[in-house]
């Protein structure tokens, strides 16, 4: 730059935070998840039929493009119920379960992990024992026994799935909080006279949030798949309610004759879990100020 002045002007502004363009994958993931969310919220408005409505004269009708007609865009199942309508209601149920369970798990795990890191000693031993117990217990057996004793309801089911991965958050939160407390920013803020609420709420939690959020995006697909698995086994969402997993489960009998019953919810599961993972990957980079 020959025309640049030899001396830089003395006033230096703080560097602007550069706004990078969203990567294509993140745009796709965000818009897919927005679409899923809109579907879940507007299920009653956009569903062409009720999810229990029978059309006995059009049983196992193929989707449009495979010999079907406009009345049933994604075909029908063995009772003539519209696959599109059931898919829309299934997305609502499954998203509610997956989001609810992920949040419950993250909240329980993080609070227990931070408690362990703060109090150490006996509290920490108790939390760690609980973590080991939870990690060594096959989750299906726990789910079976809880559902057998308490019956099945949506609220209980969400809470149960919330217990699925809490120990992971507890371990992460405890480890990171102990590290921060031992040396570094948390110790520095503590000796400034901050209350524990301030140390954990304003310093430690925001600092470990990116790790926890990434962990949540890893747990989210797992919970969708777990819900699918439990519903497939008949333990999860009970008919006539429907979820993505139970649709796959009941559709398997017609896999050869009417694969659309199973393929429609299966592809929604695959794309949604993929999008959440991609979004988590992108968020981790985005939440780190040193990478911006």
Partner 1 sequence: MSALLEARDLVRRYWMRRGAFGRATEVRALDGVSLTLERGRTLGLVGESGCGKSTTGRLVLGLETPDGGQVAFEGTPMPPPGSRAWRAQRARLQMVFQDPLGALDRRLTIGSQVAEPLLIHGRPAGAAEVAALLTEVGLREDHGQRYPHQLSGGQRQRAVLARALATSPDLLVCDEPISALDVSIQAQVMNLLMELQARRGMAMLFISHDLRAVRQVSDRVAVMYLGRIVEEGAPDDVLREPAHPYARALVSALPHPGRRGQRILLSGDPPNPADRPTGCAFHPRCADAVARCRLEAPALRPHADGRLVACHLAHAPAPQFVEMGAA
Could you list the residues that contact partner 1 (CB under 8 A)? Answer: 12-15, 183-185, 187-189, 191-196, 198, 203, 206-207, 289-290
Cβ at position 173, least distance to partner 1 in Å:
16
- Which of 59/284 has CB closer to partner 1? 284
Cβ at position 117, least distance to partner 1 in Å:
14
Cβ at position 74, least distance to partner 1 in Å:
46
Instruction: Report d(CA 69, CA 75) in Å as an integer.
Output: 8
Q: Are 248 and 266 in contact (CB under 8 A)?
A: yes
- Give me 10's structure tokens: 């003395």
- Which of 15/138 has CB closer to partner 1? 15
- Which of 189/213 has CB closer to partner 1? 189
Instruction: Report d(CA 101, CA 227) in Å as an integer.
Output: 10
- CA dist 42 → 15, 35, 62, 70, 88 (Å): 43, 10, 25, 21, 9
Q: Are 116 and 131 in contact (CB under 8 A)?
A: no
Q: Are 181 and 196 in contact (CB under 8 A)?
A: no
Q: Where are the alpha helices (DSSP H) in 233-259?
A: 244-251
Length of the chain: 292
Cβ at position 192, least distance to partner 1 in Å:
5
Q: Which residues are CB-contacts of 129 (< 8 A; sequence separation ≥ 6)?
A: none
- Which of 149/197 has CB closer to partner 1? 197
Instruction: Report d(CA 103, CA 107) in Å as an integer.
Output: 6
- Which of 59/198 has CB closer to partner 1? 198
| Helix, strand, or coil (residue 241) | coil
Instruction: Report d(CA 277, CA 120) in Å as an integer.
Output: 33
- Give me 49's structure tokens: 């039929």
Enumerate the β-bridge partners of residue 76: 82
Cβ at position 193, least distance to partner 1 in Å:
3
Please count the other Cβ atoms lying within 10 Å of the Cβ belonging to residue 288. 10
Cβ at position 184, least distance to partner 1 in Å:
4
Cβ at position 110, least distance to partner 1 in Å:
17
- Which of 14/141 has CB closer to partner 1? 14
- Which of 195/256 has CB closer to partner 1? 195
């Amino acid at each position: 730059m020959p025309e640049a002045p030899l001396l830089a002007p003395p006033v230096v502004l703080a560097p602007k935070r550069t706004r990078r363009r969203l990567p294509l994958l993140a745009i796709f993931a965000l818009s897919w998840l927005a679409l899923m969310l809109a579907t879940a919220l507007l299920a009653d408005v956009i569903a062409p039929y009720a999810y229990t409505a029978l059309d006995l004269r059009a049983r196992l009708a193929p989707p449009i493009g495979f010999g079907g007609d406009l009345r049933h865009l994604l075909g029908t199942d063995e009772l003539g119920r519209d696959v599109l309508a059931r898919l829309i209601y299934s997305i609502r149920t499954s998203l509610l379960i997956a989001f609810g369970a992920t949040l419950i798990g993250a909240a329980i795990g993080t609070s227990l992990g931070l408690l362990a890191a703060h109090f150490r000693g006996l509290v920490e031993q108790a939390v760690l024992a609980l973590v080991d117990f939870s990690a060594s217990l096959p989750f299906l057996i726990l789910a079976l026994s809880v559902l057998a004793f308490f019956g099945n309801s949506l609220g209980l089911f969400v809470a149960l799935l919330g217990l699925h991965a809490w120990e992971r958050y507890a371990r992460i939160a405890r480890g990171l909080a102990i590290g921060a407390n031992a040396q570094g920013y948390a110790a520095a803020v503590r000796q400034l006279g901050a209350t524990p609420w301030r140390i954990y709420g304003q310093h430690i939690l925001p600092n470990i949030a990116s790790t926890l959020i990434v962990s949540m995006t890893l747990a989210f697909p797992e919970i969708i798949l777990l819900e699918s698995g439990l519903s497939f086994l008949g333990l999860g969402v009970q008919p006539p309610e429907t979820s993505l997993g139970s649709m796959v489960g009941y559709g398997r009998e017609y896999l050869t004759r009417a694969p659309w019953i199973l393929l429609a919810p299966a592809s929604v599961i695959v794309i949604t879990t993929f999008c959440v993972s991609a979004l988590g990957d992108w968020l981790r980079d985005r939440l780190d100020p040193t990478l911006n």
